[in-house]
Chains A and B, each alone.
Chain A
Amino acid sequence: MEIVELKNIKKSFGDHVVLKDINFSVGKNEVVVIMGPSGSGKSTLLRCITFLEEPDGGKVKLGEFNLQAGLPLNKERKNMIRALRQNTGFVFQQFNLFSHRTALENVMEGPIVIKKMDRQKAKENAIELLSKVGLADKMDHYPAQLSGGQQQRVAIARALSMKPMVMLYDEPTSALDPELVREVLLVMKELAKEGMTMIVVTHERGFARDVADRVVFMEDGLVVEEGSPEKMFGSPVKERTREFLQDVGKEGR
């Protein structure tokens, strides 16, 4: 069953066409890794899925939510977009934790403000999620008192607090010191094992190999090729895919 379906997604900034015509879908429990050179439109694609950037055209489907892009923004559409966002967990390269709130409060914020959850219940859930990412002992720390890896794990817990249908990660480990990358990838791997549906933009080849069900290679605003990690890293059909994925491999961890 498909959870996310993108149809003919197009996006330009001024006269710079960033996404030309993207079609792809992600099934329940599936982990899709998106790779591609800088500027190929990976972040823009993720952001279009939750309308952080509104696509110029196309359709986004998430579970039962169906949104046609490029229509005027009235109240009903705003509500639709918010419903869509409440069901996707977005993890940013720069973590973007709320810097005036503790780790615990960060994870409680969404359920309390958006879902109007009872404070005590939100707290219990948040503690559970922080334990899951291995940070229950740091719950009273503010973001500035945590390492990058810890911040990103709190950010993952915060995204999970809304019980999303799908998690979207935009280069979740690119801003981290090398020794902190592993702890974040481990948490993500654990989530994948539990059956969380995920779309991950990353350059981590090892993660893609171990965890991805499918690797999507993007270039110049198009999906050039997609397939299993074995196929994509082993014997991709397209010359460009081979060049790029092998380059990534050489830098690789």
Chain B
Amino acid sequence: MDLSIIIDSLPVLLKATMVTVLLAVVSVIIALILGFFTALARISKIKVLKAIGSIYISIFRGTPLLVQIFVIYYGLPQIDIELSPITSGILALSLNAGAYLSESFRAAILAVDKGQMEAAVSMGMTYWQAMRRVILPQSIRIAIPTLSNTYIILIKDTSLVSVITVTELLQMSSLIIAKTFEPLTIYLLAAALYWVVITFFTALLDRLEKRTSKHVA
């Protein structure tokens, strides 16, 4: 193994790692918003909303992410929707993770003791005041462990968008290997970089979890 190869490719790989992080962070933010509103739709009393939520979840949890990426990037142009590789990647990752996150949110909202809602409305709060002030803050705390889990999986899944030529970490590694013919070194280096990113976010989310559950029995 040649040390100079590592030194030469590291700057480029670090740049690609930033693309991976960017993909993951942007996608998770969109997925959180999407998941949150889907969860609200699923617990609402309005049948149409409920149905839309269920169909969305069913589609995106019931099909492989790779297929979703292909449909968005290669399929949509056929109906004149052309998206750049990175937009397609973010869209697929967000829609996919959003479906999982909405299920975590929903479970967490339902896990909040029924007495909390009763106490809030018995004082005269509206349903939405009670949701916003009492139920949601508690469900977010409950949801954090599963949210972290989904986020870690999302980081790994960003590697799948390499197939539509987004030069994130894995794609960049392959490009370097095509020139250097050092697959073992470069792929191990890529693996190490993924590990660093994931370990960093795991630690961050663990701290968040500890902080939010400090006062809870």
Contacts and interface: CB of A to CB of B under 8 A. Distances in A.
A82 B124 contact: yes
A141 B116 CA distance: 18
Nearest to A87: B124
Nearest to B137: A100
A132 B41 CA distance: 43
A113 B119 contact: no
Interface string B73-101: 00000000000000000000000000000
Central interface residue in A92, A98, A100, A162, by most chain B CB within 10 Å? A100
A114 B115 contact: no
B215 A52 contact: no
Contact of A99 (B120, B124, B126, B216): B216
Given A86-B124, A100-B137, A114-B129, A52 B116 contact: no
A94 interface: yes
B118 A96 contact: yes
Contact of B122 (A50, A83, A142): A50
A203 B78 CA distance: 73
Interface in A132-173: 142, 144-145, 155, 158-159, 162
A114 B123 contact: yes
A52 B118 contact: yes
30 contacts: A82-B124, A82-B125, A82-B126, A83-B124, A85-B121, A85-B122, A85-B123, A86-B123, A86-B124, A90-B123, A92-B115, A92-B118, A96-B113, A96-B119, A97-B119, A98-B119, A98-B134, A99-B113, A99-B138, A99-B216, A100-B137, A100-B216, A110-B123, A113-B129, A113-B133, A114-B124, A114-B129, A144-B216, A144-B217, A145-B215
